[in-house]
Structure 1
């Protein structure tokens, strides 16, 4: 039988989709592309529900799958299932619904459906689930880096966010399982790893055993102590050359935490710290549990121990009751922190959240204008960060051949620095493949015309 998978949403979803794909391969399925030219017997759509747009895309992809092959089994999995399970169960275009924390039963559920030929539902009350769903990958689509899911769920209940209702409470993967997966992937040649989670900073708070208090940075009352232990464990695996982290909460970035990370060679100076707003009044309405000053202090600590650290963030514009003055405060704050990259989102109302019930909903045209202003700022700051690296020699992990010029016999290979600057290097075409998945010193020379990457030359 043939199966096609399509992923929507975050890096955690991507990891889970790859794990489900490998489960299907192990069960004897042939994996084919999700496209009109190739019909599958089973379609698995790993859905997202973070915004109304994500909901709509999830529905569209489920319906597209059934239209590509009306006789196929269409499986809806993930967050949209948790949020709108009743609707999907009644949808003629969907045959199977699988919620979060049940994806590891995918093959079993499909087999049961084939045997019973009836709608098969596997959706749990995610708020009452306390066990971590074990999913594993043995290979990944990218040839040089691998995302490793280490945590699920969130206890924060930000006023705009549906995720605690679709992903449930914090559940963490045992560190020995994480390092075992990392070792397997190192043996396959992977050099770079990214620890991913729904709320990574909460990693380990659900573990019963206390931290080792013999070492003061692991004291039980230190925020992020379990996450720091995991970072150390992954860095200690032989063959791990680079480690990146998913989104941080500023509250765990204490001096002890950041200092210890800086002592671990594989940790890349590239950090994503979720912000959402630079205005304290807006942060309070969002139920974010830090102030703008506390966030700024976290950035200063990172730059103290990781000079020229690349710091990225998320920002929401048009949150309920956000005034022009509050937006101006946020914009000035973003420019002062000077991020490498920003992900800018227009506030999206989510039924069931506190923000959905707030007065003072901001009109869509105002959100659009504010978003455009921040995207313009983001483009400028991102270019300035890349410009600041010109003339330096940095290690680049090469990932792929971007193109070949047949007339001149050269190829362009691309990769990233530890600060995640995209670098292009020209090489003789017959040599280009030799450099893929290698880390080399490169002199960063000049920006591309659009400022999106840096051109460089190999050193030595």
Structure 2
């Protein structure tokens, strides 16, 4: 073994960089804790390190490019470092990865929990540097178990992986595989550890969160779900047995956890029984992110979304029936292939009708390997124009929703300090995820404070006057 290899065996520093979604963020946190437990010291990504681990994203062609850029940046920061490419870009660009000389090790999805063993094997002079399983045939959910979240007050918890939906614009089912859910007992154990570490709020996240537990159900149900992914039919019995609700109810029983927040939901999960049950869980945060993507039925069908705009609206009305002023947020794609001016106007009118608290607007971006990449494309300038129109509606809706909070008694989880005009505040979020500031006097990070919303402090932050018994 060369001196260089011997020297590498004793290396101690590792740097991480995460691209993409909250699931990737969770997985990076978990890998970092595994590396720290193995004796590595974590340093900032901009520093010189012995190992660089880039948790990549591949949701768009732009995400692919950013992933490559970060891998190449890591190599430039230390020519002698081990550079690890992990995640979705690895799954979608296997040939390009093999040819990229800046990468030493490639780790696919569902192998990240083996990161320490993978690096050790590479260091032991083995030729193997490729650790990818066939993600589309894997049926087990990768298990992590974290006890802390770096630099965050709320704890994100990955509860499932994979997606069976096959929307025409999306590469994710090919990079993350089919739906795989974590066992409930493992999730609850993780929540208990986080609660004992002082976390009061947990956020459940996954690639397709609404599908949590469908892989636990009987074989006939799974066959029906598999068939539905290959058609454009709507499943009237999408929620025959709601394992996600069962999970939330069990997390609510964990001492120390005071808030439960959920990530993006499939609109079809919004049924009366589900929403009514959620409304009875006092720890549940009424912030519903429902990915609409378009308010035009023609576009929804072209996207292979398995609902109509009217069905989506029925779900919104159900949520507002059982919750007082819930926050309903969404994603919208503008300029989807074949979207005419009339289609866009229909989508715009629907957004105005729903009055979302917040709308995340994305001009359609071509993703090679998807059906939509081969459909007639909309001009880039037209996409930008449509995005600007929806953004104006979004800004008005945000201010209106925040204005409605003024004079109400609410609570905020203190997270970060903030100084304005010489005064120090804590900022944090209500259960509806409205950003609030409260004077710092006598408060600490992770306190939950109750008080009256007084006014706007800035354009996007409301000021709370805390109650005297909070002091």
Deviation readout 1:65-84 (Å, 9 max, x if unpaired) = 11111110000000000000
Q: Select the residue among 453, 464, 467 that pairs with 1:456.
A: 464
Q: Secondary structure at the match of 1:370?
A: helix
Compute the displacement of 1:426 (Å).
2.1
- Aligned equivalent of 1:215: none
Q: Select the residue among 264, 267, 275 that pairs with 1:247.
A: 264
Partners in 2 of 1:224 and 1:273 — Cα distance? 20
Partners in 2 of 1:139 and 1:247 — Cα distance? 23
Partners in 2 of 1:436 and 1:178 — Cα distance? 25
- Aligned equivalent of 2:319: 302
* Mapped pair 1:232 → 2:252: no
Q: Secondary structure at the match of 1:256?
A: helix
- Aligned equivalent of 2:135: 126
- Asked if 2 retains the 8 angstrom alpha-carbon contact of 1:143 and 1:190, the reply is no
- Aligned equivalent of 2:344: 327
Partners in 2 of 1:156 and 1:143 — Cα distance? 31
Q: Secondary structure at the match of 1:5?
A: strand
Compute the displacement of 1:224 (Å).
5.6
**Which piece of structure 1 moves more, 377-386 or 11-20?**
377-386
- Aligned equivalent of 2:232: none
Compute the displacement of 1:374 (Å).
1.2
Partners in 2 of 1:305 and 1:372 — Cα distance? 33
Q: Secondary structure at the match of 2:79?
A: coil
Q: Select the residue among 22, 32, 36 that pairs with 2:33.
A: 22
- Asked if 1 retains the 8 angstrom alpha-carbon contact of 2:61 and 2:368, the reply is no
TM-score of the superposition, structure 1-length normalised?
0.93
Q: Secondary structure at the match of 1:178?
A: helix
Name the CA shift for 1:290/1:404 in 2 (closer, same or farther; >3 Å): closer
User: What is the correspondence of 1:80-159 to structure 2 with a 5 Å cutoff?
Assistant: 80-116=89-125, 118=127, 120-159=129-168
- Aligned equivalent of 2:227: none
Partners in 2 of 1:246 and 1:128 — Cα distance? 26
Partners in 2 of 1:88 and 1:421 — Cα distance? 41
Q: Select the residue among 358, 383, 394 that pairs with 1:341.
A: 358
- Aligned equivalent of 2:432: 419
**Which piece of structure 1 moves more, 376-385 or 154-163?**
376-385
Q: Which runs of 5+ in 1 are unaligned?
A: 211-219
Deviation readout 1:140-159 (Å, 9 max, x if unpaired) = 01442100000000000000
**Which piece of structure 1 moves more, 168-177 or 248-257?**
248-257
Runs of 4+ in 1 over 4 A off after TM superposition: none
Compute the displacement of 1:404 (Å).
7.8
Compute the displacement of 1:119 (Å).
5.8
Name the CA shift for 1:423/1:97 in 2 (closer, same or farther; >3 Å): same
- Asked if 1 retains the 8 angstrom alpha-carbon contact of 2:168 and 2:304, the reply is yes
Name the CA shift for 1:76/1:83 in 2 (closer, same or farther; >3 Å): same
- Aligned equivalent of 2:224: none
Compute the displacement of 1:138 (Å).
1.3
- Aligned equivalent of 1:376: 392
Compute the displacement of 1:400 (Å).
2.0
Compute the displacement of 1:127 (Å).
0.8
Partners in 2 of 1:63 and 1:104 — Cα distance? 24
Size of the aligned set, in residue pairs, is 440
Q: Select the residue among 167, 174, 187 that pairs with 2:176.
A: 167
**Which piece of structure 1 moves more, 117-126 or 77-86?**
117-126
- Asked if 2 retains the 8 angstrom alpha-carbon contact of 1:62 and 1:94, the reply is yes
- Asked if 1 retains the 8 angstrom alpha-carbon contact of 2:238 and 2:268, the reply is no
Q: Secondary structure at the match of 1:57?
A: helix
Partners in 2 of 1:427 and 1:45 — Cα distance? 37
**Which piece of structure 1 moves more, 327-336 or 119-128?**
119-128
Name the CA shift for 1:425/1:221 in 2 (closer, same or farther; >3 Å): closer
Partners in 1 of 2:416 and 2:167 — Cα distance? 39
Partners in 2 of 1:124 and 1:350 — Cα distance? 23
Deviation readout 1:188-234 (Å, 9 max, x if unpaired) = 11000110000001110101469xxxxxxxxx973461111111111
Name the CA shift for 1:142/1:262 in 2 (closer, same or farther; >3 Å): farther
| RMSD (Å), alpha carbons | 1.5
Partners in 1 of 2:240 and 2:414 — Cα distance? 35
- Asked if 2 retains the 8 angstrom alpha-carbon contact of 1:85 and 1:97, the reply is no
- Aligned equivalent of 1:2: 13
Q: Which runs of 5+ in 2 are unaligned?
A: 1-11, 220-236
Q: Select the residue among 257, 271, 279 that pairs with 2:288.
A: 271
- Asked if 1 retains the 8 angstrom alpha-carbon contact of 2:238 and 2:269, the reply is no
- Asked if 2 retains the 8 angstrom alpha-carbon contact of 1:89 and 1:119, the reply is no
Q: Secondary structure at the match of 2:93?
A: helix
Q: Secondary structure at the match of 1:138?
A: coil
- Asked if 2 retains the 8 angstrom alpha-carbon contact of 1:6 and 1:45, the reply is yes
